[in-house]
Amino acid sequence: MKENKLIAEFMGLPLVPCNIGTEDGAVTEGYQHPKVNSPCTIDGLQYKYSWDWLMPVVAKCHEENSKAIRLEIGHRNMYGANISIVYEAVVEFINQYNKTK
């Protein structure tokens, strides 16, 4: 998932060596996320499925919002929003943010 990689880089997660077997073979580099003790592959990052993982990203997006990029969650208030809607909005925000850097 290229979106997970985008988020991991935005959050500054360190790349660390690892040896994880996947369907596509062995992965020798992964991201160290503070919520887990072992490295995660891109597919193992849980931003799309866990509010605990996604909300710190939303918070960082709001911190970076001073650069006049707006984080929109469709026409909905973020409270009560579906996690996939928030995830998509975060990915869009990061893409816009990266264009301004």
Question: How many domains would you assign to the chain?
Answer: 1
Angle ∠(13,93,47) on CA atoms, nearest 5: 45
The structure tokens listed for 81 are 């929003």
The predicted model scores a pTM of: 0.79
**pLDDT, tens digit (0-9, with 9 covering 90-100), for 2-32:** 999 999 999 999 998 877 766 666 667 889 9
**pLDDT, tens digit (0-9, with 9 covering 90-100), for 34-51:** 888 888 888 889 999 999
Q: In which domain, by residue range, is 73 found?
A: 2-100
Residue 64 CA to residue 34 CA, distance in Å, equals 21
Instruction: Decide: 33 and 56 in contact? Cβ < 8 Å.
Output: no
The structure tokens listed for 70 are 């707006």
